[in-house]
Amino acid sequence: MIESIIYKDNKITLLDQTLLPIEEKYISIPDYRTMIEAIKKLRIRGAPAIGIAAAWGIYLAAEEFKDSPDWKEKLEEAISEIEASRPTAVNLFKASGEIKVLLAISDYADCFTETVRDYALKLMEYEKNASVMMGVNGLEEISDNAVNIMTICNTGSLATYGEGTALAVIRALAEKRDITVYACETRPLLQGSRLTMWELMRSGIESRLITDGMTGSIIRDKAIDCIVTGADRIAANGDSANKIGTFNLAVLANHFNIPFYIAAPESTFDRSIKTGAEINIEQRDAEEVKFVRGTQIAPADCKVENPAFDVTPFELITGIITEKKVYKNPDEIHKA
Give me the active site residues, please.
232
How many helices (H) and strands (E) would you count in the chain?
12, 16
Cβ partners under 8 Å of residue 264, min gap 6: 47, 134, 165, 230, 231, 234, 240, 320, 321, 322
Cβ partners under 8 Å of residue 25, min gap 6: 15, 16, 19
Strands (E), 16-106: 26-28
Backbone φ/ψ region at 314: left (φ over 0), alpha (ψ -120 to 50), beta: alpha
Single-letter residue type at 229: T
Write out the DSSP string of 240-251: EEEETTHHHHHH
| φ, ψ dihedrals at 116, nearest 5° | -65, -40
Residue 305 contacts residue 242 (beta carbons within 8 Å): no
Cα Rg for the chain, rounded, in angstroms? 20
